[in-house]
Amino acid sequence: MRTIEADYLVVGAGAMGMAFVDTLVTETEARVVLVDRNHQPGGHWTMAYPFVRLHQPSAFYGVNSLRLGTDSIDEIGWNQGLYELATAGEVCAYYDQVLRRQLLASGRVTYFPMSEYRGDGRFTTLAGADYAVDVARRIVDATYMRVTVPAMRPPPYPVAPGVTCVPPNDLPKLRAHQRYVVVGAGKTGIDTCLWLLGQGIAPDRLTWIMPRDSWLLDRARMQPGSLFAERIKISFIAQLRAISDATSVDDLFARLEESGGLLRIDPAVRPTMYRCATVTRAELEQLRRIGDVVRMGHLLRVEEDRMVLDGGTAARDGDALYIDCTADGAEKRPATPIFDAGRITLQSVRGCQQIFSAALIAHVEAAYRDDPARNELCVPLPHPDTDLDWLRLAQADYANQLRWLDDPDLTAWMSAARLDLFGHLIGHLLPPASAKPRVRDRILGIAKSVFSATATKLDALLGEQTSLATP
């Protein structure tokens, strides 16, 4: 067994692992061993379906030190008028560039692809070589969030012989079918429905199995740059006002929907799910064209002549192609302390912003001296799943933002972090660094007061909802 010395052993070269290593290498002289089971960096992107695109602008994705894409505005398609969304191929090529031209070129990163981590700083390569890493600082777990895509596992329900059920990856390679059954209502299900409609498949040839309806975010309200500054400012103030004026959780969702902050596919069905999925208004119009939406819970099995679901059965078309979109790409994992003795466990510290979170954790590791201080700044937020999780994430985001605004050095770092989507949004409300100190301090004081009141109100609404749910 060979022994390697390093300051950090990072397990996982997915999006979070790459963002962490990039910031660590940029801000310190640390030596890093990066171990990954895939053949190239990018994690789940290496197995993503070919037509997938980011659900947020490329400007907010990747690593802090290198821009992803060209910051261009889409001129065609259902994302027209908004900032570009990178494809799976572009994301994979980008991470390969980051690895080779920046991380490996630094001379301080050693990369082991196709390697299985065994625990305790040990791993085995594809060739069968065993290594042990003598870690001076920490082992970093960049796999804790367990991102899973359909191509990584078979469907979680039995499928009768003769029935074709494939992951979205296979769609572009298959012959045409009379009917397509999309199983799952998350981001992957949305992408698959839109891809089929975009290929000219008539909506009456689609069946969409939707166990739960989801609240969706309007992507037009998550854009960088001055072009959208006024729109972002208006929508952010509308969110603050909706929270302030809400008399109950149901009233809050009604106000958020009325202001355009949250969207739903069917106006007649109240969503009970929230997974941070974004759509444009044009995409929403397309999704609403699908009339055969099966709302009978999860698919339990596909038999020769019918589908069996939680809430009953539905007839099965003989030539239907099933597309399994049920993998949990953002599993709701229990929160655990991020900084521990000899260990870092990467998790989200801002709602639905895993990549920025990983970069922030690396900065806090580099810039702060003790773990209690680090953990106070980096409070983990489990991925959302239910509608109430929107409130929990928002409450935690405002509470975390208050902590960060109390630290001038951290605030300065975040203002320059291109991955910080939420920071870009509230940046339209805060004064620039060039503002006079008195003006800046006064406006920051107002912002802190508003954020504090907003977090308190969300906490109260959640408390009331818990009381109502308790028998």
Confidence of residue 433 (pLDDT cuts 50, 70, 90): low
Helix (H, G, I), strand (E, B) or coil at 295: coil
d(CA 461, CA 471): 18
Nearest to 156 by CA among 165, 146, 145: 165
d(CA 324, CA 341): 41
Are 33 and 4 in contact by the 8 Å Cβ rule? The answer is yes
Last residue of a domain, one of 281, 298, 324: 324
Let me know if residue 351 belongs to a domain.
Answer: no
d(CA 338, CA 194): 37
Confidence of residue 428 (pLDDT cuts 50, 70, 90): low
Burial of 151: CB neighbours in 10 Å, binned 0-12, 13-18, 19+? middle
pLDDT at 331 over 80: no
d(CA 426, CA 405): 12
Same domain membership, residue 138 and residue 44 = yes
Let me know if residue 163 belongs to a domain.
Answer: yes
Same domain membership, residue 72 and residue 22 = yes
Q: Quick one: pLDDT at residue 110?
A: 98
Residue 293 is part of which domain span?
150-213+265-324
State which amino acid sits at residue 464.
Answer: E
Let me know if residue 61 belongs to a domain.
Answer: yes
Q: Quick one: pLDDT at residue 359?
A: 98
Write out pLDDT tens, residues 37-74.
999 999 999 999 999 999 999 999 999 999 999 999 99
Are 10 and 142 in contact by the 8 Å Cβ rule? The answer is yes
Write out pLDDT tens, residues 261-303.
999 999 999 999 999 999 999 999 999 999 999 999 999 999 9
pLDDT at 435 over 70: no
Confidence of residue 469 (pLDDT cuts 50, 70, 90): low
Are 466 and 395 in contact by the 8 Å Cβ rule? The answer is no
Same domain membership, residue 167 and residue 138 = no
Same domain membership, residue 168 and residue 314 = yes
Beta-carbon contacts of 183 under 8 Å, excluding residues fewer than 6 positions away, are: 155, 189, 209, 299, 322, 323, 324, 325, 326
pLDDT at 180 over 90: yes
Q: Which residue has the tokens 């999860």?
A: 298
What are the angstrom distances between the C-alpha of 141 and each of 112, 175, 208, 374?
15, 42, 36, 17
Last residue of a domain, one of 92, 119, 143: 143
152 backbone dihedrals φ, ψ, rounded to 5°: -85, -15
**Number of folded domains that form the chain:** 3
Write out pLDDT tens, residues 185-218.
999 999 999 999 999 999 999 999 999 999 999 9
Q: What percent of the chain has pLDDT over 90?
A: 79
Please give the residue that has the higher pLDDT: either 336 or 424. Answer: 336
Helix (H, G, I), strand (E, B) or coil at 259: coil
From start to end of 142-225, where are the E strands?
164-166, 179-183, 206-209, 214-218
Give the mean pLDDT of 442-449.
84
Same domain membership, residue 301 and residue 202 = yes
pLDDT at 339 over 70: yes
Confidence of residue 429 (pLDDT cuts 50, 70, 90): low
Last residue of a domain, one of 143, 167, 187: 143
Q: Quick one: pLDDT at residue 431?
A: 63
pLDDT at 430 over 70: no
Same domain membership, residue 100 and residue 41 = yes
Q: Quick one: pLDDT at residue 312?
A: 96
The strand pairing partners of 279, in sequence order, are 218
Max distance between CA atoms of the chain, in angstroms, equals 73
Let me know if residue 199 belongs to a domain.
Answer: yes
Write out pLDDT tens, residues 104-144.
999 999 999 999 999 999 999 999 999 999 999 999 999 99
Cα atoms found within 13 Å of the Cα of residue 6, Cβ hemisphere only: 25
Write down the pTM of the prediction.
0.94
CA triplet 183, 185, 191: central angle to 5 degrees? Answer: 90
Confidence of residue 13 (pLDDT cuts 50, 70, 90): very high
Are 241 and 233 in contact by the 8 Å Cβ rule? The answer is no
Most confident of 5-14, 217-226, 325-334, 426-435: 5-14
Q: Quick one: pLDDT at residue 465?
A: 82
Give the mean pLDDT of 222-247.
90
Write out pLDDT tens, residues 136-170.
999 999 999 888 888 888 999 999 999 999 999 99
Beta pairing, strands 32-35 & 2-11: parallel
Same domain membership, residue 203 and residue 138 = no
Beta pairing, strands 339-340 & 343-345: antiparallel
Confidence of residue 470 (pLDDT cuts 50, 70, 90): low
Let me know if residue 345 belongs to a domain.
Answer: no
Query: Which CATH number is 45's domain given?
Result: 3.50.50.60
Whole-angstrom distance between the N-terminal and C-terminal Cα of the chain? 59
Confidence of residue 239 (pLDDT cuts 50, 70, 90): very high
